[in-house]
Amino acid sequence: MAHIDQVLGPADDTVTFFQPRAMVYVTMLWVIAAVWVVSLGLHILVRLAVGDTLSGDDVVTYLEIALIVPVVTAAGILLMAWKRLGWLHSSMHGLDFAATGRKPVHLPWAGVATVALRHRGPFTELVVTPVAPDFATPGDGPGRAPRMRKRGGEVSYLVDVGLMSPGPDVLLAELHRRLPTKV
């Protein structure tokens, strides 16, 4: 009688996609900095519009705030999500994934109806639609319930993949390579 691993094949065929912390931090830093600088600029314009004048000390204070707040905010957010960044494992056993801060989900390949990307850049999301909702098995562990989108009778799972390494296009190609062809 054959051992189960001999029947199923090698167990080391897993391809892992993850979000590098440095990339997440730098992206958050630029987004937070852009929003923060625009907010400070509007605050300064409002002060000037009501007739207030800015002293040299005010300018230095605004520059310090513009530089420090985004760095500290991005670091704080990253520390809160340190062990909960999104990931995806593709293996012969199926698809395992978790969005940032969410519980993991396991879906066997026979239970995957479609996979697709939506949005662009760092905001790219993977939309995984199971054949039926009962094919997906949410895992235990910390985090909120998996991100889901319900349209009509169809349930889809959403995973943030815009910052995943090696990248959303490579991830989608890997998933399409493993998906069974439907006749």
Structure-derived torsion over alpha carbons of residues 154, 158, 162, 166, reported in degrees to the nearest 10: -90
Q: What is the pLDDT of residue 122?
A: 87
**pLDDT value for 10:** 53
Residues in Cβ contact with 149 at an 8 Å cutoff, skipping those fewer than 6 apart: 127, 155, 156, 157, 158
Look up residue 85 and give its two tokens. Answer: 């960044």
**Residue 6: its pLDDT value, please?**
45
Tokens of 86: 């999104």
The residue type found at 177 is R
> pLDDT by residue (tens digit) across 12-65?
678 889 999 999 999 999 999 999 999 999 999 999 999 998 899 999 999 999
Q: Which residues pair with 115 in a beta bridge?
A: 128
- pLDDT, residue 13, reads 77
Local confidence pLDDT in tens for the 183 residues of the chain: 444 444 454 556 788 899 999 999 999 999 999 999 999 999 999 999 999 988 999 999 999 999 999 999 999 999 988 888 999 999 888 899 999 989 999 999 889 999 999 999 888 999 999 999 889 999 887 789 999 999 888 999 999 999 998 889 999 989 988 887 654
Q: What angle do CA 174, 178, 179 make, to 5 degrees?
A: 115
Q: How far is it between the farthest Cα atoms of the chain? A: 88
SS3 45: helix
Tokens describing residue 137: 């098995």
Please state the separation of Cα 20 from the chain's center in Å: 11
pLDDT at 3: 42
